[in-house]
Amino acid sequence: MSSPSFWRGKRCWLVGASSGIGAACARELARAGAQLAISARSQDSLDALRTEFSQGAQDPAPNAHLAVAMDVRSDESVAVAWERIREAWGGIDLLLYLAGNYVPARSWELDVGRARDILDINYLGALRTVSCVLPSFLEAGAGHIALTSSVAGLRGLPKSLYYGPSKAALTHFAEILRLDLEPRGLRVQVIHPGFVATPLTAQNDFAMPHLLQPEAAAQLLLRGLEGRSFEIHFPKAFTRRFHWLRCLPYSWYFPLIRRATGL
């Protein structure tokens, strides 16, 4: 359960909030008393989620929650969404980037157009969104940026031809933000989930160890945001293995992964 004392009144912009972990985080934050701006491509899905928050609250304040549709692949769409939020609230306290896409693929299936689309959502969309909020965070000398990457971004994995490199770039981006922005009063965190049951992971035709439901993943993610660690990773019984694998030399890593996956 998220801490109401931490979240009450915090202005949180969740990007990629219409389903999966994003929607579960939004519901949990609403229960904890945060103000939410939820964004995704589908206005209908966002409106339905915002209605849930309003029904669950007693005498909700005007603009307590905002449903702002946008496409993270478009500079203009992201900029317009940010202006709507800033006009309503004056600014935000937390940007939580959860938008992502995944298509399993092997190297012989390489399609540059598909790679470009996934990179645009998983990585460039985060850059677009951060670039909007960063000036106001720097001016205030405060703000919180959290980017949802994946354990698939920690090392190369079979069937992660497009997804893995996009998430590796996002992790690298978060590390640089942390180095640059922490001395200026900003908080930056990166999130490395394991397998979570969503329509994206439903595409997988292999066993997914320690598979989490979105609600459980959301609680672990938000608990991590309440802490001070740069990296949030879960479930630890699974993700700790990737931290160990990250340290292995290639001469050990490649045979181990081939043997473990059978690919």
- Domain ranges across the chain: 4-261
Look up 163 and say whether it is catalytic. yes
Q: Report phi then psi at 94, rounded to 5.
A: -135, 130
- Of 61 and 109, more confident: 109
**Of 12, 38, 32, 21, whose CA–CA distance to 193 is shortest?**
21
Q: Is the pLDDT of residue 1 over 60?
A: no
Q: At what angle do helices 163-181 and 125-140 cross, to 10 degrees?
A: 10
Tokens of 222: 């938000």
In this prediction, residue 57 carries a pLDDT of 57
Question: CA-CA distance, 47 to 69, in Å (whole number)?
Answer: 9
Q: What is the pLDDT of residues 170-228, one digit of tens each?
A: 999 999 999 999 999 999 999 999 877 677 666 766 666 677 898 999 999 999 999 99
Pick 247 or 178 by higher pLDDT: 178
Task: Return the pLDDT at 59.
Answer: 46
Cα separation, 174 vs 155, in Å, equals: 16
* pLDDT of amino acid 262: 83
Span 38-55, average pLDDT: 90
Cα 196 to Cα 20: distance, rounded to the nearest angstrom: 8
**Neighbour-count burial of 127, counting CB atoms closer than 10 A to its CB (0-12 exposed, 13-18 middle, 19+ buried):** middle
d(CA 34, CA 30): 5
SS3 12: strand
**DSSP assignment letter at 103:** -
Percent of the chain's residues with pLDDT above 90: 77
In this prediction, residues 131-141 reach a mean pLDDT of 98
**Domain 4-261, classified CATH 3.40.50.720, yes or no:** yes
Report the run of H or E that residue 253 belongs to, with start and end.
Answer: helix 250-261
Q: E strand or H helix at 186, and its extent? A: strand 186-193
Given a contact cutoff of 8 angstroms between Cβ atoms, the answer to whether 145 and 138 are in contact is no
Cα→Cα distances 237→42, 194, 242, Å: 35, 10, 10
When the pLDDT of each residue in the chain is averaged and rounded to a whole number, the result is 91
State residue 205's pLDDT score.
63
Tokens representing residue 37 in the block: 């701006």
The catalytic residue among 97, 123, 163, 253 is 163
